[in-house]
Structure 1
Amino acid sequence: MIVTASCSVPASNPARVTVTGWDPATWEQTVSRTFTVPAEAVVAEADDVASPLVELCADNFPGAGTSEEGPRAVADTRLRQLFDKDFSRMAVVLVDRETEATGVGYVDTSGKLTRLSGEPSEDFGDTPKEENAVFAQDGSAVWFTETDSSDRVRIASRSLAGEHAVTERAVGDADYMDGAGLALAGDPVRGFFGKEVRVSPDGSKATAFITWKGYNVVATPRRSALFKVDGVTATGIPSGADCHPYGWVDDRNVLCGPRLGKTEEPKRKNSFWTLDTSRLDGTADLPKGALGDPIIPATDRKNTVRAISPDGKQLIFASLQGTRLEFFVSAVAPGATPKKITAAAADKALGVGDVVEWR
């Protein structure tokens, strides 16, 4: 089943997030759930508060899911973790419009809001700034970040049980981490604060964009951490790989597309390929055998990966030719022949919102 999430923000009604399951063989809808977003929840970039929900709702209204670049790429890890494992609850960041204090909570499909953060202290101090709310997949806690007036950020979690006690997980300097988000991985779960974090299936690695270093492969620490220069053990992806990471096809190989939307190598134009991260040695040179050959033929189409199958053997991509948008499925193998998805319902499934899981 392919699971998509989309956001609708009507002018005079509460925002809604719809999670829909689709059968990838027939593109028939199999299940759908709708979350009514509380009025105090952060959904707009104008609030200047970080939340995966803001990313989901940005330019993501029915009928407006396609830009000149086509639909958005397969979602990064934190968008999936906006929801718990069975998509019955959604994490939210709540804002007090008067004080601008923020806290975290969650909403269920009945519309019930549960606040996890307590009332702000009456003592003289910083305004609470809890952001980046994501769900532990076992549903036991909502994780978040909080940045103080000295630009220190902490990673913490609040339990759904009892008094919603807060547990601090990590703390560090937030310099040069504008636009970073929180992603969770592993068992026991850890939180990683970074940019464009995509965690491998076994949780042992992640790709991330690190300021001053570009795209990197990070060996996920045993504790929560900030993905930044000198913050974690990271291996830079050589420029010769020309890799914008879309996600992982297995625990070693990353699916790549052209880093800047175009490539100097004609055979890779608007194509995809894999990068074997186990071969990277930390140097600027691309190791022999690390880069796979192009998966789909080079064309002048704008192609964007929308989903990667759980076994890593298939991908679905959007292909924009002029203003015509089409969807194709392809094997994740060099020289594959893409097959056009002709089912009419696929346009509805793949043309709007984000694909958050293929299970």
Structure 2
Amino acid sequence: MSNTEIAPQEIICEADTGCGGVEIMVPRQVPLGGPRAMDVRRTLPQRQRSLIGAWCFLDHYGPDRIRETGGMRVPQHPHTGLQTVSWLFTGEIEHRDSAGFHAAVRPGEVNLMTAGRGISHSEISTPATRVLHGAQLWVALPDGVRQMEPTFEHYRPEPLSGDGWTMRVFLGSLAGSTSPVGTHTPLVGAEILLDAGATLTLSVEAGFEHGLLVDEGTLGLDGHLVARDHLAYLPAGRSSLTLTAGVEALRVLLIGGEPLGEQIVMWWNFVGRSHEEIVEYRAQWQAEIGVEPRTEASGGGGRPRFGTFPAGEPVPLPAPVLPSIRLRPRG
């Protein structure tokens, strides 16, 4: 998914604002393109927190009735230095990218695209979709592999179930289930469903930070209630998490990982390590789609950084104007 904000904010890290070890992150509404824009709720990044492990971006959307919102129509756009993780609850999205991958994103199936040195892709909700509901997440690649060749993986995890709960582990390992999908830092990602009033205690990696996004219901966590659409952050050091559903059934996304240990510069759809890199990525993208003249930063001939996209697709998204101040590393 693209960050379609016309003037994407530079988000500077500030001191953490926790409550008894649990930090509650409030979503902000962001329109996802077009006059009939579908709104998404963004909980990561925020001013007080840029990363959870290597997770650097979380958009949550729906359930949206496509006939009313227009659905998801994100044309070709670029990415660098990250992996995109798509997870749906209902609906279907068509994915195309410049590395030659064409896939359907369906509920209960993870699609992970590794941008590496550079890729472009599109995401369009399918004509048969009536209600679209899901999440899009990004993972920052560590410095040692962020210039790798782009690739794509797909996996449908088998559900685990117990007394009042069901779980699907789509990245990493949890509750005895391990995903084969490749990551470049230790990570975990899972969808967890709890019946109304049910409690689940999970053994987790003590070296991981964790985040819990509430999709449906209300989450009880360490004596705090986490409302729908909010993201609860828990620092590293815990070996277990206890989740309790309220009077309604609960659905949460659990993400986590070892602290990245690196600072990143993230602007629009690019993850880099310096202001100069982001300027270069933007110039290359604008030159490749023909909306700005080629400059020294955008390079000469040779292989396009963002690849060759299939013909006949909608007009690509141009990059926003860069801010007038230097982009600063965070994390």
Q: Please give the TM-score of this superposition, normalised by the length of structure 2.
A: 0.30
Larger radius of gyration: 1
